[in-house]
Amino acid sequence: MTLILAIESSCDETACAVVRDGKEILSNIVSSQINVHTLYGGVVPEVASRIHVENISTVITEALARAQVTMDDIDAVAYTRGPGLIGSLHVGVQAAKTIAWAFNKPLVPVNHMTGHIYANRFVAELKFPLMALVISGGHTQLVWMKDEWSFEEIGTTGDDAIGEAYDKVARVLGLGYPGGPKIDKIAKEGKPHYSLPTPKTANPYDFSFSGLKTAVLQMIQREERKGEKINIADAAYCFQETALTSMVKKTIAAVHEYQPKMLVLAGGVAANSRLRVMMEEEMAKIEETDLIIPPLYCCTDNAAMIGAAGYVAYMHGERGGFDASADPGMLMPGEEE
Ligand code: KG4
Ligand code: ZN
């Protein structure tokens, strides 16, 4: 049995978890800063770092207590090294190094995006080759995994990440932060009233969302010039349908070409209720590939997912030194130049 203490602080959640053998959550403590950042309409990096400093010790103590273990029982300390906000990451990195040094435990640096993918390990045993659609506030990637702990990006966004587009469109529609869940909710009352341009990319598996975001902004301005007010639910509906239809089509095309045993969704946008239905409908037509969708609690940022990926990294012999620092632009293993 291997027990991992995992620490995550890449953006605006301060989190710590204890995970057994990469698949069983003994505790998963997340202290969210959303209430504070909502006041500013988005994450303020300096504020995020300061709140991480205030909360990190508490979430670690709480994670150990809830799991009913002490540091003596822990085999390794895994932490998010990147990608993310440098000041935020720094707090988790320092906490992980301090606790590993004090209790003489190995340190395992983890890429946050691999964490999102391995969150699916709490739902099912992963089957390879596997395709992951990684969709968050900072990333939109199709990742091909021939085997466990092998990552090849076959598509990415040339501009905005999908979560970023949700957040920006929500802001111009006056829905507030974070925009993803707000658009998800209000779009349920919307109708296909407006037409928006389908994103175009040179590589069929790449994504683009900034043109669509600009089109929503121009649509609002056009209505205002006519002296009319935009229907927010209809605009949210049309933005969401256009963004998701394009993303789902690309993903399904990649599944047809690569023929993975499993397609997994990963990252905050995987919480989207419309996307989950669209994916289930499309994947029901493809018998050879199973679809795994993570539960809502492990779509958005948490430390249990870092424990799941950290376990696999630990088993693959990955270790970090006490001289390691945060890596805000960190690439996935195997992607390093
Ligand atoms: O994975 P995550 O928690 O943090 C990053 O690694 O970026 O993802 C956060 C993103 C935000 O852009 C948020 O608006 C989006 O995920 N999100 C959603 C939903 N819930 C969160 N987007 C669409 N629909 C949702 N229900
Ligand atoms: Zn994330």
Position 166 scores a pLDDT of: 98
Testing ligand 1's pocket by substitution, the residue of 166, 279, 305 carrying the most ligand atoms inside 8 A of its CB is 166
Atom of ligand 1 nearest to the CA of 300: 3
CB atoms near residue 169 (< 10 Å): 27
CA of 179, nearest ligand number: 1
Decide if pLDDT at 94 tops 90: yes
Q: Which residues surround ligand 2, an ion (CB under 5 A)?
A: 136, 301
What pTM value is reported for the model? 0.96
Helix axes 45-67, 86-103, angle to 10 degrees: 30
Q: What is the pLDDT of residues 212-243, one digit of tens each?
A: 999 999 999 999 999 999 999 999 999 999 99
Question: What digits encode the pLDDT tens for the residues 319-330?
Answer: 999 999 999 999
Q: How far is CA 126 from the centre of its chain?
A: 18
Average pLDDT across the chain, whole number = 96
| Nearest ligand atom owner, CA of 267 | 1
Q: What is the rounded average pLDDT of the residues 285-314?
A: 97
Q: Are 312 and 148 in contact (CB under 8 A)?
A: yes
Please report, as a single letter, which amino acid is at residue 84. G
Nearest protein CA to atom 3 of ligand 1, as residue: 300
Closest listed ligand to the CA of 240: 1
Q: Is the CB of 271 under 6 A from ligand 1?
A: yes
Into which CATH architecture does domain 127-293 fall? Answer: 2-Layer Sandwich (3.30)
Residues 6+ apart with CB under 8 A from 204: 155, 250, 253
State the closest ligand 1 atom to the C-alpha of 10, by its place in the atom list counted from 1.
Answer: 6
User: Phi/psi zone of residue 208: left (φ > 0), alpha (ψ -120 to 50 degrees), beta?
Assistant: beta
CA of 136 to the centre of ligand 2 (A): 6
Over residues 57-84, mean pLDDT: 98
Q: Nearest CA to 8 among 232, 304, 210?
A: 304
Nearest C-alpha to atom 8 of ligand 1 is from which residue?
A: 268
- pLDDT > 90? residue 76: yes
Q: Which of 152, 154, 123, 249 is nearest to 198 (CA)?
A: 249
CA 126 – ligand 1 centroid, Å = 23
Residue 317, class by beta-carbon neighbours within 10 Å (0-12 exposed, 13-18 middle, 19+ buried)? exposed
Is-contact 92 306, C-beta < 8 A?
Answer: no
Percent of the chain past pLDDT 70, that is, above it, reads 99
pLDDT of 112 higher than 70: yes
Span 231-279, pLDDT tens digits = 999 999 999 999 999 999 999 999 999 999 999 999 999 999 999 999 9
Whether the CB of 136 sits within 6 Å of ligand 1 = yes
Structure tokens belonging to residue 91: 């707090």
CATH 3.90.550.10 fits 3-118+298-315, yes or no: no
To the nearest 10 degrees (0 to 180), the angle between helices 179-186 and 162-172 is 70
What does the pLDDT look like over 149-184, one tens digit per residue? Answer: 999 999 999 999 999 999 999 999 999 988 999 999
Nearest CA to ligand 1 atom 16: 268
Question: What is the Cα–Cα distance from 25 to 17, expressed in whole angstroms?
Answer: 7
Asked whether the beta carbons of 175 and 184 are under 8 A apart, the reply is no
Distance 331 CA to ligand 2 centre (A): 14
Query: What is the Cα–Cα distance from 305 to 21, expressed in whole angstroms?
Result: 12
Determine the Cα angle at 89 with ends 87 and 93, to 5°.
120
Please give the pLDDT value at position 181.
97
Q: What is the pLDDT of residue 212?
A: 97
pLDDT of residue 337: 58
What residue spans define the domains of the chain?
Answer: 3-118+298-315, 127-293
For 132, the 3-state DSSP assignment is strand
User: Does the structure show a pLDDT above 90 at 41?
Assistant: no
Mutate to test the pocket of ligand 1, among 139, 162, 300 (most ligand atoms within 8 A of CB): 300
